Chain A
Amino acid sequence: MHKLKVGIYSLSSCEGCIVQILNLEERLLEVLNHVDLVECRVLGLKHDDEVDVAFVEGFVSSDEEATKIKEIRGRSRILIALGDCAYSGMRFVAKDFGTSTIRADPINMYVNVDYHLRGCPIDSEEFLSLISDLIHGKKFKESSKTVCSECILLENKCLLDKGFLCLGPITRGGCNAICIANNKGCFGCRGLGDDVNISAFIESLKSKGISIPSYLLGLLKGPGYGSSQNS
């Protein structure tokens, strides 16, 4: 079988998604038996030629990066956006910057994206199943569960019942409710689930007396929240 040529590229990011991939350790080595990793800055690999699969992390913060992402798209057969930065331009992490006005464009503003891996950072298991699907010629299917349903499988006590904010009921699963398992509320980094009911969610928070930060309320009520779904 022809080995897939794979490149991993970074725009403006914290490199957290790449760390998730490197953390796979032996299992990453196993993947590397089946693909040719030809380009990856942190590993000092440079290629500048055509690839089968390009993984891109980070958002576009300058014209140079806009040119760069177009150039990468031009020489890759399949382009995959890694993480929340790349497909939503840090919509959620933006809260740390307060009202900062830095440019943070998702890459799909500039190029077509074939798949995206959700999350901030991405889930390494999901990365593995995407790679495996690409190697085997399967269509990658992301989780159609909600974070809540994954949370109850872990038999966690619900944070909402304890009066804390958690976006689990409206957020797409696939992370195995990792934040809640670590006692943090879900902050929605994986975007919306299949068929969420945002107004009912806001109502249920109100009835539980849980306040919603205004930036989040704006996001939830605003247009385009959770767009850029995998087709």
Chain B
Amino acid sequence: MVSMKNPYIPTKAIITHIRNETPDTKTFRIRILDQNEFSFTPGQFIQLSVFGFGEAPFSIAGSTNEKELEITVRRIGTVTGALFRKNVGDIVGVRGPFGKGWPIGLMLRRNILIIAGGLGLAPLRSLVHYIILNREEFGKVYLLYGARTPADLLYKDEFNTWSRYIDLHLTVDKGDNYWKGRVGLVTILLDDVSVDTEDTIALQCGPPIMMHFVSKKLKSLGFPDENIYLSLERLMKCGMGFCGRCTVSGRYVCIEGPVFCYADIKSFIEAIPEAGVEHA
């Protein structure tokens, strides 16, 4: 009892690299001190502390085979604002990894359809890296990614590499003078690919309203509910199923999620706005 480890205390970590992604988004590489490894499943998240400012959850965006971990962060409030003022060499705190990631076991040898909106690409980037590292384990892989504008596209410099392994499709809500690609919501990209709905697992992460429309569209294409997975965002304070803030119809998104199977949550009105009626 007395020797019980305190799971609220973060482990110290050091920022080793910072990359600008978009005007309000940066990718931070972080090394956990006194720890040679950081193992996680793509889709899991950490709680990051900026001492003096607080703690916030972020998806792990880096690769599973690296010793350091990466997160991609949008500046939006207290913790993210303070993190943006940090430099390489500064100390932060990490707890985790937490939650259940993408269902990799189920995805082996099947086709994969990944749909990401905006910052939702972060937890899918670590999956893309995983797939590329283990490319022969998967069938056809599509990545459909939409952002607000071309400037908001994350990980642009990796797109060439990705395209050599997977089928990448991009769209923006609003183009600019240089943009030659598709313009429109990410759902339109579903018209560009023809997937075998029987043997494809669809994974999505993005704003709730995007996931609502994507799920609808996937349904109309004939995807069975069991083959659709999505990652939910909820307010999370503890990450361990105690603070009660992240629950959706009594399910703890921090421990049972953030990745859920559509078949399990489609009935929760809270999970995806307008998606039917919430059940007890």
Does A associate with B in a complex?
Answer: yes
- A residues with CB within 8 A of B: 136-139, 141
| Cβ-based interface call for B179 (8 A) | no
Sorting the interface of chain B by its residue count into under 10, 10 to 19, 20 to 34 or 35 or more gives: under 10
CA distance A137 to B52 in the complex (A): 11
Task: Kindly list chain A residues whose C-beta atoms are within 8 Å of the C-beta of B23.
Answer: none
7 smallest CB-CB distances across A and B, nearest first, come from A138-B78, A139-B78, A139-B77, A137-B81, A138-B53, A136-B52, A138-B81
CA distance A103 to B53 in the complex (A): 42
Highest count of chain A CB atoms <10 Å: which of B53, B78, B81, B85 = B78
| Cβ-based interface call for B82 (8 A) | yes
| A137–B77 CB distance below 8 A | no
Find the A residue at minimum CB distance from B81: A137
CA distance A1 to B69 in the complex (A): 31
CA distance A137 to B80 in the complex (A): 12
CA distance A137 to B77 in the complex (A): 10
CA distance A141 to B78 in the complex (A): 10
A-B contact pairs, 14 of them (CB 8 A): A136-B52, A136-B53, A136-B82, A137-B81, A137-B82, A137-B85, A138-B53, A138-B78, A138-B81, A138-B82, A139-B77, A139-B78, A139-B81, A141-B78
Name the distance in Å between A216's Cβ and chain B's nearest Cβ: 35
Name the distance in Å between B261's Cβ and chain A's nearest Cβ: 33
CA distance A231 to B77 in the complex (A): 13
Task: Kindly list chain A residues whose C-beta atoms are within 8 Å of the C-beta of B85.
Answer: 137
Task: Kindly list chain A residues whose C-beta atoms are within 8 Å of the C-beta of B78.
Answer: 138-139, 141
Find the B residue at minimum CB distance from A137: B81
Find the A residue at minimum CB distance from B77: A139
CA distance A136 to B85 in the complex (A): 11
Find the A residue at minimum CB distance from B85: A137
Name the distance in Å between B77's Cβ and chain A's nearest Cβ: 6
Find the B residue at minimum CB distance from A133: B78
Task: Kindly list chain A residues whose C-beta atoms are within 8 Å of the C-beta of B77.
Answer: 139
Name the distance in Å between B237's Cβ and chain A's nearest Cβ: 14
B44-79 residues with Cβ-Cβ distance < 8 A to A are 52-53, 77-78
Name the distance in Å between A81's Cβ and chain B's nearest Cβ: 22
CA distance A137 to B78 in the complex (A): 8
CA distance A139 to B77 in the complex (A): 7
CA distance A141 to B53 in the complex (A): 13
Name the distance in Å between B73's Cβ and chain A's nearest Cβ: 16
CA distance A136 to B53 in the complex (A): 9
CA distance A102 to B274 in the complex (A): 50
Highest count of chain B CB atoms <10 Å: which of A136, A137, A138, A139 = A138
Task: Kindly list chain B residues whose C-beta atoms are within 8 Å of the C-beta of A139.
Answer: 77-78, 81
Find the B residue at minimum CB distance from A138: B78
Extra inter-chain contacts (12) besides given A138-B78, A139-B77, CB under 8 Å: A136-B52, A136-B53, A136-B82, A137-B81, A137-B82, A137-B85, A138-B53, A138-B81, A138-B82, A139-B78, A139-B81, A141-B78
Task: Kindly list chain A residues whose C-beta atoms are within 8 Å of the C-beta of B82.
Answer: 136-138
Task: Kindly list chain B residues whose C-beta atoms are within 8 Å of the C-beta of A138.
Answer: 53, 78, 81-82
CA distance A166 to B145 in the complex (A): 54
CA distance A141 to B54 in the complex (A): 13
CA distance A121 to B82 in the complex (A): 32
Name the distance in Å between B256's Cβ and chain A's nearest Cβ: 27
